[in-house]
A and B are shown apart, each in its own frame.
Chain A
Amino acid sequence: MEKIICKKTSKSNGELLDSDNAFWKSCAKVKVETTGTPLANQPSPYIKGVYDEKKIGAVKELSVFSVHNTENIFFYFEWSSSNPNREIGDINVFPDGLGVLFPFGAIDQTQIKEMGSKEYPTNSWYWRPDFKEKPKNQVAHGLSTSTYTKKSSVQSHSSWNNKAWRLVMSRPLKVSGKDEETVEFKPGGTIGIGFAVWEGNNGERGGVKAFSKEWRELVLEG
């Protein structure tokens, strides 16, 4: 399984939660290929019947980098989007978006294509430009079941320029409380990780998106 190393750094939260910080520019990002979700996985007969599978998944690649400073974990993302959709301006306008997915349990038991199952649920962090840098924390037990938890400790900082989004999502390594069911990160440990990107301009929302077909292993430096 392909690995993504989450490097340990001594940089401050403030420096890191800044998508334009020079640090992110210079780091050696991992390229992740993303593809459109298959129609077979759409729980809606309407989408299955009228959408064209070949047109789903406008974003083909994501650049990812991750670090932790023993307190918080940070994910940096970069992807091209020539027309950013920042808001739901109208009924036919969909904002861009990015999601990071983690299995709560064993990677090999958790279906990335189906966002997990009853027995093997997934946790995801969902960023959208209209969420005002407060990404949502979600739990899913399979397709069409993802639900926002009451609380989310995920923070973000994003910018769009040169036809690309730059985004940092961050969160304390460990979060507790019953209102935020979520995964825990342990320095020295590993966890599965997956990605999804929505190109609003292509009408992408919900299960109509681009995603990484396979789990990667996120290895946190001790």
Chain B
Amino acid sequence: MAGEENTLTAREKELAKGFEAAKDNLRKSDKQVGMVMDLNKCIGCQLCSMACKTLWTNMEGREYMWWNKVNTMPGKGSPKDWEKMGGGYKVKFGGKVMEPIRGKHPTRKEFGDMWTYNWNDVITNKAGEVHLQAKNPDGTTPDWGMNWDEDQATGKYPNSFYFYLPRICNHCAYPACLDACPRNAIYKREEDGAVVIDQDRCKGYRFCLEACPYKVIYFNFIKDVSMKCIFCYPRLEQKVPNACARQCTGRVRWVGFVDDPKSLIYKLVKVWKVALPLHSEYGTQPNVFYIPPLAPPRIGTDGKLDSSKPRIPREYLRFLFGPEVDASLDIMNTELQKVKNGGKSELMEILIAREWTHMFGPYTVDPATLERKPDKKGAYSREDLTSLLENKKI
């Protein structure tokens, strides 16, 4: 621990002031973007993960990264058992003191390495002679991955359950990663509050991977830098919503400004108070919020619906989303009932999301309408593709 206040030299005190001021500055932003994800609607299709992968992480050194991932819950998630890896803060005196908690580095295999398959051997050998096998780059057989415990339920049939938890960086208001970086390479973008890692300043020291309690930062072994979800800020700058949100099959994700009373995000988080941060006790003040899963009712021993207790134990949901989860579920049940009884509910209208383009606040631009030049040799533009298709060349 740092020396007692009175044993610090004048110069050390001056340094400490400077360091704090630098961090305050990096944490500042004029506005704050955020995302709400409705866990009642997520079907675990991973289209969001693939949208992110094809856009951001199919490049050198990023292949094993999943800036967006969808985990089956209750499960160990990715990296494996990330909820037990520490990091974040002990918040004291109403946030006046933020005491950092030591975290552990996830390992490559806990994330799930970039394994390959022996396709060629299978194809070139007689049927049944060689079986399809996955291998990590170091020759070992993979034993964990992004959604390794996919669809593994908890509890006993017919009352077993699982649900999906899509995760990205939470673009926290008090990011532990930002505080941890000795290079001051991590900052909140002034215009939207997205937390980004300056790739030129980062020297790959990985204190951020230690400190982030959500373990959403990855290390690029080839470039020797840390990387994570950038909230698609280059898209936001063009008024295009995040790839994961726009691509979502289930109309699960809303994007917008958390502090704009007109935004649907604001309505869900601040007005209806149904959207909650994941593990708010980690102290980083996430800007990604979840609508907790209601889950279908239990089935009693008599085969009839048993509403005496919920299918998903409340304790578990409180563990994830805090004690506020009770009120959130109550409000949703009440509103749901209203609609069932033929009434109207603003909340249910928002959650149903009849007009999917309304989910993205100010980000209304269709990326296909942007003027873009293919940046890679061999990449086709839409026009190229259409003409190739018309001429039956492909």
Give A residues with C-beta under 8 Å from B.
Answer: 38-50, 52-53, 88, 90-92, 94, 114, 143-144, 147, 205-207
Contacts and interface: CB of A to CB of B under 8 A. Distances in A.
Contacts of B210: 46
Interface string B87-115: 00000000000111110111110010000
Top-3 shortest CB links A-B? A46-B180, A92-B105, A50-B102
A40 B2 CA distance: 7
Contacts of B8: 40
B176 interface: yes
A205 B180 contact: no
Given A40-B8, A91-B105, A206-B203, A45 B20 contact: yes
Nearest to B8: A40
B205 A46 contact: no
A54 B104 CA distance: 20
27 contacts: A38-B3, A40-B3, A40-B16, A41-B12, A43-B184, A44-B19, A44-B207, A45-B20, A46-B179, A46-B180, A47-B182, A47-B207, A49-B99, A50-B102, A53-B2, A53-B3, A90-B108, A91-B106, A91-B206, A92-B104, A114-B15, A144-B184, A205-B205, A206-B183, A206-B203, A206-B205, A207-B182
Contacts of A114: 15
Task: Say which size band chain B's interface belongs to.
Answer: 35 or more
B266 to A, nearest CB: 30
Interface in B202-233: 203-207, 209-211, 219, 221, 224
Given A44-B180, A45-B100, A91-B108, 18 more contacts: A39-B1, A39-B3, A40-B16, A41-B12, A46-B100, A46-B176, A46-B207, A46-B210, A46-B211, A48-B2, A49-B2, A88-B204, A91-B111, A92-B106, A143-B15, A144-B183, A206-B183, A206-B205
Contacts of A90: 107-108
B195 interface: no
Decide if the interface of chain A is mainly helix, strand, loop or mixed: loop
Interface of B: 1-3, 8-9, 12, 15-16, 19-20, 22-23, 98-102, 104-108, 111, 176, 179-184, 201, 203-207, 209-211, 219, 221, 224
A43 B1 contact: no
Contacts of A206: 182-183, 203, 205, 207
B198 to A, nearest CB: 11
Contacts of A43: 19, 22, 182-184
A49 B8 CA distance: 15
A94 B206 CA distance: 9
Contacts of B211: 46
Q: Which of B101, B105, B111 has the most CB of A within 10 A?
A: B105
Contact of A45 (B15, B179, B209): B179
A88 B99 contact: no
Contacts of A47: 180, 182, 207
Contacts of B22: 43
A45 to B, nearest CB: 5
A52 B1 CA distance: 6
Contacts of B108: 90-91
Contacts of B205: 205-206
B116 to A, nearest CB: 19
Of B16, B181, B207, the most chain A CB neighbours within 10 A belong to B207
Contacts of A205: 205-206
Given A40-B12, A47-B182, A91 B204 contact: no
A150 to B, nearest CB: 12
A46 B211 CA distance: 7
Contacts of A39: 1-3
A91 B20 contact: no
Contacts of A88: 204, 219, 221, 224
Nearest to B206: A91
